[in-house]
């Protein structure tokens, strides 16, 4: 496959560590329907997380069907737009590679690897 221009914007994503949070008080979301800190109803946030998971599952199915790579790329992009996770980023990178978007996949893989590195170097013999 060769590098092809994409009609979609490049894969610039929020950091995967930017977990879903309460929109009112910014407390980390713990998978509950009501924020334990401020009492905000978080069912809409739960729907977003579920939809992103469904899109990631559909991406896997499309990637396994080798004739649906363009669909897989669209699904992976949509999932990452809703909720960026390390798993979702890896799926997006794979979909980019399978569609011939080598440079964009390489950039995304670099972002993922940099995000996984510890914030400061470990002393020798500690890592």
In a domain, 79, yes or no: yes
pLDDT tens track for 21-80: 899 999 998 888 999 999 999 999 899 999 999 999 999 999 999 899 999 999 999 999
CA–CA separation, 111 vs 40, rounded Å?
33
In a domain, 59, yes or no: yes
In a domain, 16, yes or no: no
In a domain, 92, yes or no: yes
Adjacent-strand bridge partners of 41? 34
In a domain, 50, yes or no: yes
In a domain, 107, yes or no: yes
CA–CA separation, 32 vs 59, rounded Å?
26
> Whole-model pTM?
0.73
Structural domain tally of the chain? 1
**Containing structural domain, residue 98:** 43-114
């Amino acid at each position: 496959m060769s590098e092809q221009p994409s009609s979609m914007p490049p894969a610039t994503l929020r950091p995967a560590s930017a977990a879903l949070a309460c929109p009112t008080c910014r407390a980390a979301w713990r998978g509950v329907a009501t924020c334990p800190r401020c009492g905000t109803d978080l069912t809409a946030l739960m729907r977003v997380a579920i939809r992103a998971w469904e899109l990631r599952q559909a991406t896997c199915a499309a990637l396994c069907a080798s004739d649906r790579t363009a669909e897989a790329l669209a699904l992976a992009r949509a999932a990452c737009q809703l909720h960026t996770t390390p798993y979702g980023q890896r799926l997006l990178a794979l979909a980019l590679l399978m569609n011939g978007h080598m440079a964009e996949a390489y950039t995304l893989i670099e972002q993922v690897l940099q995000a996984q590195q510890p914030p400061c170097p470990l002393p020798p013999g500690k890592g």
